[in-house]
Amino acid sequence: MIKTGAEHLESLRDGRVVYIGREKVTDVTNHPAFRHAAQSIADIYDLKADPANRDSMTFEDNGTRYSLYFKRAHSRDDLAARTAMHRAIAATSHGLLGRSPDHVASFVTGMSTAPEVFGAFAGNLTAYYQHMRANDIYAAYAVIPPQAARNPEFYQKQNLPIPTLRVVREDDDGLVISGMKMLATGAVIANEIWIGNLIPLAPNQLAESVTCAVPCNAPGLTLWARKPLELGAQVEFENPLTYRFDETDSMVMCDQVKVPWEKVFVHNDAVLARDIYIKTPAHCYGNHQSNVRFHTKMQLLVGLASRITQASGADQIPAVRETLGRLAALEATLGGMIAGQLQDAEAWPAGHTTFNRRYMYAALNWCTENHSAIIDIVRELCGGGVFQMPADISVMQDPELRAQFETFWQTPQMGAVARMKLFKLAWDLVGSEFAGRHQQYEKFYAGASFIIRNHSYREAPWAHFHKVVDDLMAGYDYPGAPPASDAS
Ligand SMILES: Cc1cc2nc3c(=O)[nH]c(=O)nc-3n(C[C@H](O)[C@H](O)[C@H](O)COP(=O)(O)OP(=O)(O)OC[C@H]3O[C@@H](n4cnc5c(N)ncnc54)[C@H](O)[C@@H]3O)c2cc1C
């Protein structure tokens, strides 16, 4: 099934409970904090449903069409089709929706290529994959324990529940879970939440190892949204990015939420809870989307940097051109890293093909390390221009102010209104609260940097690297050393 945007919006009117502070929101599609972000996701659904995009955004299996992000790759061409689909989806938000519907869906699709990893729950995982694609589900995920959970003794001493989400009861018809998980980006405007553990658990954390899927309207589940930035951006001209792309982040609170057995994928297994992401292509499929999404955002950043310098004529200065050349080189570097993931694709798991894992982690690490520095370069190119604009565009409604504004704020290269539009966009990308949230997102969405580097460490061919060193050293010795066969 391929949902339309209108059908997706309708599916969100399901009685879910979202808190903005103490305000309880039940219809996110009409609330000024979430409605434009919800529409941006609906636009992605419409993109997929457009017959003109049938072959690039959907695929057929047994006579039914599904969204292409549910396609399991058996060849490099299949992977290339996935990459192109991620690019088309990222383009709708210029890479500013991190957890678009193709992210978690790619995780689950990657898992479905190796369901045997799930042991007794393999059938559940396969059925969930089929449920997701059959109903064109948009899932978010919360796979990190809350920071408060790191000191369980603090809670135990006071006889309080430990905050991290866990199984509190097993019934004949399923598990009951309570507690908190972070930080579900997009959950407010999604259909379901995948709950799990992407970072290792201690062997005794059996109750916390639960991995399951819950609908956003599950009884007992509430979403505690961080400050919605869309609320402060009700005029598109002033904050064009915040206005449409604040995808939201929420803590997921569960109070005795019932999870039917068929939606349970890991239970009482602390090692498996994490292995399902890395012993299947899940992490690779999902984070390839992240790489492509970031690359799309890089193109906006580089284009904007150049336009900003054109607005003041600074683009004619050799030092400024060098900076722009550097930015363009950084954009191309990431493009090359993404292309390499296809070029050196892996025949893994059996009968399937996966993006090159090491290159994917390298790109993830590169993005995490470089985002702040790239933003800083663009900020530097903006100069004080972003603060030289009037507070808002209402100046144009006053004939006297308008005349002054149009005369004094223009440059030889650009009219006053066009400059204001450009600088408002630039500030929303590099300096606004939305931009600040993005800075934090790019640092942490795949885990803190030491976690990303651990993935790279795990996948590196250390035996090969060591052999290179050992072979080199085997080729020489100190003068007069006994022949190798005599050495004891
Ligand atoms: C905007 C945003 C969106 C997010 N979206 C999602 C989402 O959709 N789903 C989801 O599940 N999670 C999401 N996350 C959560 C994200 O996965 C976590 O923030 C991330 O794993 C880091 O955990 P933490 O916030 O507890 O930071 P911490 O782990 O407390 O790290 C904070 C700092 O301490 C350092 N540090 C801590 N421990 C160590 C250590 N052992 N060694 C070295 N340094 C250490 C880190 O490097 C870091 O600088 C999101 C986070 C952000 C900011």
Specify the pLDDT at position 154: 84
**CB neighbours of 402 closer than 8 A, spacing ≥ 6?**
395, 396
Q: What is the 184 CA–ligand 1 centroid distance (Å)?
A: 12
Q: How far apart are CA 244 and CA 267, in angstroms?
A: 38
* 3-class state of residue 187 by DSSP: helix
75 lines ligand 1 (CB under 6 A): no
Nearest CA to ligand 1 atom 41: 450
Q: Which atom of ligand 1 is nearest to the CA of 447?
A: 21
Q: How far apart are CA 120 and CA 373, in angstroms?
A: 46
Distance from CA of residue 396 to its chain's centroid?
38
Q: What is the 87 CA–ligand 1 centroid distance (Å)?
A: 26
Using only C-alpha atoms, what is the Rg of the chain? 25
Specify the pLDDT at position 157: 83
Nearest to 361 by CA among 271, 445, 457, 295: 457
Six-digit token string for 322: 């060098």
pLDDT tens sequence across 244-293: 999 999 999 999 999 999 999 999 999 999 999 999 999 999 999 999 99
Q: How far apart are CA 183 and CA 160, in angstroms?
A: 22
**CB neighbours of 138 closer than 8 A, spacing ≥ 6?**
8, 41, 101, 105, 186, 189, 190, 191, 192
Nearest to 321 by CA among 420, 329, 294: 329
Beta-strand pair 211-215/221-225:
unpaired
Q: How far apart are CA 239 and CA 296, in angstroms?
A: 20
Nearest to 183 by CA among 144, 151, 210: 144
442 lines ligand 1 (CB under 6 A): no
Q: How far apart are CA 106 and CA 129, in angstroms?
A: 10
Specify the pLDDT at position 486: 61
Q: What is the 51 CA–ligand 1 centroid distance (Å)?
A: 40
30 lines ligand 1 (CB under 6 A): no
Q: Which atom of ligand 1 is nearest to the CA of 142?
A: 11
144 lines ligand 1 (CB under 6 A): yes
Q: What is the 445 CA–ligand 1 centroid distance (Å)?
A: 7
Q: What is the 272 CA–ligand 1 centroid distance (Å)?
A: 21
Q: What are the phi and psi torsion angles at 30 (to 5°)?
A: -115, 0
Q: DSSP class of residue 84?
A: H
Nearest CA to ligand 1 atom 36: 448
* 3-class state of residue 185 by DSSP: strand
Q: How far apart are CA 165 and CA 173, in angstroms?
A: 19
User: What strands lie across the sheet with 192-195, from one edge to the other?
Assistant: 139-142, 192-195, 211-215, 264-266
Six-digit token string for 65: 């069409």
Domain spans, the chain: 5-278, 282-467
Q: Which atom of ligand 1 is nearest to the CA of 145?
A: 26
Q: DSSP class of residue 481?
A: P
pLDDT tens sequence across 78-111: 999 999 999 999 999 999 999 999 999 999 999 9
Q: What is the 317 CA–ligand 1 centroid distance (Å)?
A: 41
444 lines ligand 1 (CB under 6 A): yes
Q: What is the 238 CA–ligand 1 centroid distance (Å)?
A: 31
Q: How confident is the model at residue 487 (pLDDT cuts 50, 70, 90)?
A: low
Q: How far apart are CA 202 and CA 209, in angstroms?
A: 9
449 lines ligand 1 (CB under 6 A): yes
200 lines ligand 1 (CB under 6 A): no
The amino acid at 176: V
Six-digit token string for 101: 């519907």
pLDDT tens sequence across 280-336: 999 999 999 999 999 999 999 999 999 999 998 999 999 999 999 999 999 999 999
Q: Which atom of ligand 1 is nearest to the CA of 249?
A: 3
Given a cut of 80, whether residue 484 has pLDDT beyond it is no
Q: Which CATH superfamily is domain 5-278 in?
A: Butyryl-CoA Dehydrogenase, subunit A, domain 2 (2.40.110.10)
CATH of span 282-467: 1.20.140.10
